[in-house]
């Protein structure tokens, strides 16, 4: 099964955009923004693929199919 890499990137970016501001980098005293690594994990089983992420203690899956 082939999953479009753009669909994976969209899943990760949409999830990040939906997070509350307290979970995102914030401006520093000098006006620059903090940097954080951003990654996504895709779980593929059979003919289904899911983008998964963890927010607090809850594991969430986003269906890419």
Task: For residue 11, name the pLDDT band (cuts at 50, 70, 90).
Answer: confident
* CA–CA distance, 20 with 34 (Å, rounded to integer): 16
Lowest model confidence (mean pLDDT) among 5-9, 10-14, 44-48, 52-56: 52-56
* CA–CA distance, 34 with 3 (Å, rounded to integer): 32
**What is each CA distance from 61 to 15, 27, 30, 35, 51, in whole angstroms?**
10, 30, 37, 25, 6
Q: Could you report the per-residue pLDDT of 14-53, keeping only the tens digit for each?
A: 878 888 888 788 888 998 888 878 777 666 666 655 555 5
* pLDDT for the residue 10: 82
């Amino acid at each position: 099964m082939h999953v479009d890499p753009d669909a994976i990137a969209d899943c990760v970016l949409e999830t990040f955009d939906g997070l509350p501001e307290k979970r995102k980098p914030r401006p520093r005293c000098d006006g620059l923004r903090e940097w954080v690594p951003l990654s996504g994990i895709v779980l593929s089983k059979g003919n289904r693929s899911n983008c998964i992420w963890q927010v607090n203690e809850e594991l969430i899956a986003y269906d890419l199919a």
